[in-house]
């Protein structure tokens, strides 16, 4: 099946720092999505991207759909303690309507 | 409030026993999904259903079974044939026909085999 490589696997940062993470794919996706999961909960959608080159913001979060359609980036500015959690990228290909392929996740820890 | 409800949240099972995880949604979504989450491996698709009385295998369907008798419900049975069933199981649903790809997740069920 399709593979998504998400980096980094974990991050330990100080409150106030900016965060960057990315996902790369071996195949093209039509949609990129970024989710956040709090401990013991289900993932919640943060940002959805639908066009190559698209740059979308949601508060302190900014995500981009790579030009090649094989990668995506998520940035978090001025991190706060409640940003702690696992961040997942997910992609949807043209023939897998409604099915998502997920990255391995980035575990974010924010020190006050 | 609209959403997806999974139960139970925690479940313990002895080896050799089947167990069924419940998933109910009142979002009027057509499609429903079951994912398995293991540390460091992201989410892997077990089964999905786009319409009542029809479902498809995902990437790791062996040892699992599902049914879709009602639009609102998509229960997952973890059978004794599943060799490593201890995991966090997530149910999700989505609208079909809009192409957004967005999944809405339940809060998950953690299964532990003793």
Q: What is the pLDDT of residues A47-90, one digit of tens each?
A: 999 999 999 999 999 999 999 999 999 999 999 999 999 999 99
User: Is B114 exposed, middle or buried, given 0-12, 13-18 or 19+ CB atoms closer than 10 A?
Assistant: exposed
Token digits for B88?
């966090």
pLDDT at A92: 87
- With a pLDDT cut of 70, the percent of chain B lying above it is 96
pLDDT at A28 over 60: yes
CB contact under 8 A, A102 and B106: no
Average pLDDT of chain B, as a whole number = 92
Q: In this complex, which of A40, A99, A103 lies closest to B42 when CB atoms are compared?
A: A103
pLDDT of residue B1: 65
- What residues of chain B lie within 8 A of the CB of A100, using their CB? 43, 45, 101, 103
Beta carbons of B42 and A88 less than 8 Å apart = yes
The answer to whether the beta carbons of residues A69 and A29 sit under 8 Å apart is yes
Instruction: Provide the 10 A C-beta neighbour count for residue A33.
Output: 25
pLDDT digits (tens, 9 = 90+) for B65-108: 999 999 999 999 999 988 899 999 999 999 876 556 788 999 99
**Which among B75, B102, B54, B106 is positioned nearest to A98, based on CA atoms?**
B102
How remote is the C-alpha of A103 from its chain's centroid? 8
Average pLDDT, stretch B3-18?
Answer: 93
Do residues A72 and A49 lie in contact, with contact meaning Cβ atoms separated by under 8 Å?
Answer: yes
Q: Count the residues in chain B.
A: 114
Q: How far is B38 from B89, CA to CA, in rounded Å? A: 9
Q: Determine the pLDDT at residue B39.
A: 82
CA-based end-to-end distance of chain A: 40
CA–centroid distance for B58 within its chain: 11
What's the mean pLDDT when you consider all of chain A? Answer: 92
pLDDT at A83: 97
Q: From the CA of A95, how many Å to the nearest CA of chain B?
A: 11
In this complex, which of B41, B50, B103 lies closest to A100 when CB atoms are compared?
Answer: B103
Q: Average pLDDT in the A5-15 region?
A: 96
DSSP-derived letter for residue A89 is E
The SS3 assignment for A76 reads strand
Query: Residue B45 has what pLDDT?
Result: 92
Question: What was the pLDDT predicted at B99?
Answer: 58
- Inter-chain contact A97–B58, Cβ cutoff 8 Å? no
Residue pairs between chains A and B whose CB atoms are closer than 8 Å:
70
Reported as a pLDDT band with limits 50, 70 and 90, residue A1 is: low
Q: Is A41 helix (H, G, I), strand (E, B) or coil?
A: coil
CB-based contact B100 A48, cutoff 8 Å: yes
pLDDT band, residue A94 (cuts 50/70/90)? low
Closest residue in A to B104 (Cα) is A44
DSSP string across B56-105: EE-TT-TTEEE--SBTTB--EEE-TT-S---EEEEEEEE-SSS-----EE
pLDDT of the residue at A2:
61
CA–CA distance, B102 with A37 (Å, rounded to integer): 15
């Amino acid at each position: 099946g399709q593979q998504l490589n998400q980096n980094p696997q974990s991050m330990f940062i100080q409150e106030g720092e900016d965060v960057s993470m990315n996902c790369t794919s071996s195949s093209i996706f039509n949609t990129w999505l970024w989710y956040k999961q709090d401990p013991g909960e289900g993932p919640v959608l943060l940002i959805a991207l639908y066009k190559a080159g698209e740059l979308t913001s949601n508060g302190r979060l900014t995500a981009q759909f790579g030009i090649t359609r094989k990668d995506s980036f998520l940035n978090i500015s001025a991190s706060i303690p409640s940003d702690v959690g696992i961040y997942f990228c997910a992609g949807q290909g043209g023939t897998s309507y409604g099915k998502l392929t997920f990255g391995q996740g980035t575990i974010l820890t924010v020190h006050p | 409030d609209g959403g997806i409800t999974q139960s139970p949240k925690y479940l313990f099972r002895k080896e050799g026993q089947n167990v069924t995880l419940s998933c109910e949604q009142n979002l009027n979504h057509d499609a429903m999904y079951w994912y398995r989450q293991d540390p460091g491996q992201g989410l892997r698709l077990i089964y999905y259903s786009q319409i009542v009385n029809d479902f498809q295998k995902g990437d790791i369907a062996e040892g699992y079974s599902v049914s879709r008798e009602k639009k609102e419900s998509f229960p997952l049975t973890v059978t004794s044939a599943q060799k490593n069933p201890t995991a966090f199981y997530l149910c999700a649903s989505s609208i079909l026909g809009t192409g957004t790809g967005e999944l809405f997740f339940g809060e998950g069920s953690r299964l532990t085999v003793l």
